[in-house]
């Protein structure tokens, strides 16, 4: 595994990157992971670091970032951000931004099924964390993550224009609470919610 990239967070630059993200969301009804999302965040280090604020109790000062991070030749994380001093990191799985990315209609069923893309995202995170744990005893692990006791958290960003019924909201909340990976909860947010939350982080925490 290669070292993560060091980056000093710049609030003013991040606010401009947030406006770029707002423009991206408003310019397209749907978002492609490969064509839209990954290239966008690859060029915006500050906005990528800001995502770590979904885990405020674990990460105080996010200063490491790597896009499309190769855990090994078979597993590549879309984004890794973290706090090198506290040795806490977030593995971010980006998925497509569509209205049916979380739940989808299946035949004539009144209750929608979990979408294939969300199921795949959970599986991706599971594999990333499994492989990281498999590498924990290697000689370069402490050099990459600051120590052999580094901890990892999962975040799935998926869906755009998603409309959930009260029952679907309850199902998603329950899944986030109960479906653990390596004994940790996995957060799931839509791109619309991400825009709102990043705006809140910048306003409350950085006053920009």
In whole angstroms, give the CA distance from residue 71 to residue 89. Answer: 14
Q: Report the alpha-carbon distance of residue 15 to residue 195 in Å, rounded.
A: 11
> From CA 67, how far away is CA 90, in angstroms rounded?
12
User: Under 8 Å CB-to-CB from 146, ≥6 apart: which residues?
Assistant: 84, 85, 87
Sign of the four-CA dihedral 160, 166, 168, 172? positive
CATH of the domain at 139: 3.40.91
User: Could you identify the residue written with the tokens 């402490």?
Assistant: 142
What tens-digit pLDDT sequence spans the chain (208 residues)?
889 999 999 999 999 999 999 999 999 999 999 999 999 999 999 999 999 999 999 999 999 999 999 998 899 999 999 999 999 999 999 999 999 999 999 888 889 999 999 999 999 999 999 999 999 999 999 999 999 999 999 999 999 999 999 999 999 999 999 999 999 999 999 999 999 999 999 999 999 9
What is the domain extent for residue 120? Answer: 5-206
The number of folded domains in the chain is 1
């Amino acid at each position: 595994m290669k070292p993560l990239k060091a980056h000093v967070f710049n609030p003013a630059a991040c606010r401009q990157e947030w406006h770029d993200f707002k423009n991206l969301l408003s310019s397209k009804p749907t978002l492609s992971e490969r064509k839209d999302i990954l290239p966008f965040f690859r060029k915006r280090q500050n906005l990528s670091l800001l995502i770590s604020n979904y885990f405020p109790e674990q990460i105080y000062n996010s200063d490491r970032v790597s896009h499309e991070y190769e855990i090994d030749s078979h597993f590549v994380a879309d984004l890794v951000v973290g706090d090198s001093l506290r040795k806490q990191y977030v593995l971010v799985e980006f998925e497509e931004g569509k209205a049916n990315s979380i739940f989808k209609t299946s035949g004539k069923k009144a209750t929608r099924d979990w979408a294939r893309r969300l199921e795949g995202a959970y599986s991706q995170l599971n594999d990333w964390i499994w492989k990281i744990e498999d590498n924990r005893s290697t000689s370069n692990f402490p050099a990459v993550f600051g120590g052999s006791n580094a901890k990892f958290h999962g975040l799935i960003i998926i869906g755009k224009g998603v409309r959930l019924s009260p029952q679907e909201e309850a199902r998603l909340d329950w899944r986030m609470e109960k479906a653990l990976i390596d004994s940790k909860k996995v957060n799931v947010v839509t791109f619309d919610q991400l825009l709102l939350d990043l705006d809140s982080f910048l306003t409350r925490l950085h006053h920009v």
